[in-house]
Amino acid sequence: MSKHIRDTFAQCKLEGRPAMITFITAGFPSIEETVPLMLALQKGGVDIIELGMPFSDPIADGPVIQRANTLALENGMNLHKVLELVKLAREKGVKIPIMLMGYYNPIYRFGDKKFVEEAYNAGANGFLLCDLPLEEASHFRSICTSSGMSYIPLVAPSTTNDRLEVLAADADSFIYVVSRMGSTGSTGSLSSNLDELLKRVRSQTGTKPLAVGFGVSTREHFLQIAGIADGVVIGSFLISLINDTPKELREQRVTDYIQEIVGNRPVDISKLVINSEPVHALEGSIEEATNAFMGNGVDKFGEFGGQYIPEILHDCVKELEAAFFAARDDPSFWAEIKSYYPYMGRPSSMHLADRLTEQVGGARIWLKREDLNHTGSHKINNALAQVILAKRMGKTKVIAETGAGQHGVATATAAAKFGLKCTVLMGAEDVRRQALNVFRMKLLGAEVIEVHSGTKTLRDACNEALRTWVTCLHDTHYVLGSATGPHPFPTMVRTFQSVIGREICEEFPKIHPDGKEFPDYVFACIGGGSNCAGTFSHFIPYTQVKLIGVEAAGEGIDTNSHAATLTAGKPGVLHGAKTYILQDSDGQVSETHSISAGLDYPGVGPELASWKASGRATFLYCKDEEALEGFRILSQSEGIIPALESSHAIFKAIEIAKTLPKDKDIVITVSGRGDKDVQHVAELLPKLGPKIGWDLRIDSANQTKC
């Protein structure tokens, strides 16, 4: 099937023109219209169709294709139906090559080998996967080659020459050239450096055909690219055209538009031939060639982690990796961070919760008070360190995602302290329920951008932060707040947060009445994993310490309204890493729910996933009303109002403490303070309060009910 693509480029070259390539999303605007639109594209003069496989979290795509993905999924699209459409298209007369384009997680969930085999049998010719770069693609690429299917590499303006050489060696049909930095979308103009970019790519890739995409929409664009490339790709503009055209006119409008683009070139469909001859395997081992280029490869946590990112992000992630490891090994970097400990409030307090311990009647309960840090949570540990790292890298701006707002506040604070411009991405739902933190961020000089896509929560803020970052890599660092994302972010965030666990180890023997070396249990709440990774990492070698992470069970793990990823999730790929994620059987990321905005996330850090796999840590879950009970108990027993995130760990720690003898010791990391949550709790009490017997309303006699 690769040969069909190569033959198409060869025929176009004989005719003295570039190949016309178009992208449409399977199932958009409806499932029944997909094949007729493919036929209309072929009739108009398209040489190759990229058929988009819808995904819930398309981090490399702009708003037009995002909306097309969302609508297609609402229409019931999945990979099985994509393959059915390919088969139907062949039966109805689509003879030109069909490339399947999308993201890796649905394929990973389907099964790599099974999907490639079924795609071949349906009549597809190859694949183009936005988040499966060289570092992660060797296994999938080998399956494609052995099946006679093409795997199309993407290159970007930031792709280095040595990397181009390896990517070109892997290319068995053509190379997709992303013409500009950023996500997909029609801009009305092409990059002014396109000619120079293609000359550089051509110098490393030789005679391999190059197809140019991103921002192409007009006949003028087509002609501009025709003289310097072998193929022209149109995507977002075509999707918009289809969306804006009445249903009964769409097929003819698509054909007319393509004819306009190709200069009314005559198309004789009867001469098109479907070529199904498999390609011979490339000489040498693809995995060997890739590994030779990468050296030791990307750091992973067992089977988890990695760099599942668009090619456009690769160079900046490598830059960050080099900068982080250099800083990590530089004593002056740590000296600078420690010089700000008085500013941050470190070391944070740790003490016995004596009244809580007395009420529980079991093990002693100790509190590690990250809520007393400057800005009110553990987030300042990572944010300040990353901002210092950004300055070392010469960046003048930072961006961040946030859920509960604590990471956004911490990043805005550090940016203000060091004079960097700060932009924070936050889901619109989280903006509503964390209004106080939004105001704090703005007060600190940050710009807060509401994200209205998807569930309008932390997951969507992460998606948008990655899309935003690729547009401003040269002067901007992404201060990722959780121990998630592509390498080196999980390692970096854990490293900067590990001060929590280190201080517990240092402080505990000093304050324990018997000088006991280690606590018996350590508890931490889990969203993406920064608090948990920072608390647990120092204890990993000390297996006598039981490590217990607590996830958000929302309305219950037997419902669809929870965020208990390690309890109910399956391995998959999200936001640049392989980890556990909440997803459906088709590999689409599930919507989540938690009383706490900071835990309302469908993934988890890959290092935590490895601890689950190895059994080194145990992961429990806590429902909304139980977290509210933890919130109340600590407030009323110790005079400490904890964040709702921390309240999950507090409730479960109390449950365990009740079952233990009094000579056992439990440490809970109180990751943040609850000022930000007070209004939200007041709003929720009428619904959740009766479940735990808590009512703080004012009655008619102006007496508080409690």
Beta bridge partners of 100: 51, 127
Give the CA diameter of the chain.
Answer: 90
Is residue 580 helix, strand or coil?
strand
Specify the pTM. Answer: 0.93
Give the residue numbers annotated as catalytic, written as ranges: 50, 61
Position 176, amino acid: Y
Whole-number pLDDT of residue 456: 87
- Separation CA 384–CA 344 (nearest Å): 9
3-state SS string over 525-579?
ECCCCHHHHHHHHHHCCCCCCEEEEEEEEECCCCCCCCECHHHHCEEEEECCEEE
Whole-number pLDDT of residue 283: 42
Whole-number pLDDT of residue 453: 83
- Separation CA 481–CA 399 (nearest Å): 10
The H or E element spanning position 447 is strand 447-451
Structure tokens at 145: 């080659």
191: left (phi over 0), alpha (psi -120 to 50) or beta: beta
Which residue segments constitute the domains of the chain, with CATH numbers given? 2-281 (3.20.20.70), 308-342+376-492 (3.40.50.1100), 348-373+497-692 (3.40.50.1100)
Enumerate residue ranges in the chain where pLDDT < 70. Answer: 1, 182-189, 273, 275-298, 698-706
Percent of the chain with pLDDT over 70: 94
- Separation CA 65–CA 234 (nearest Å): 12
Whole-number pLDDT of residue 473: 87
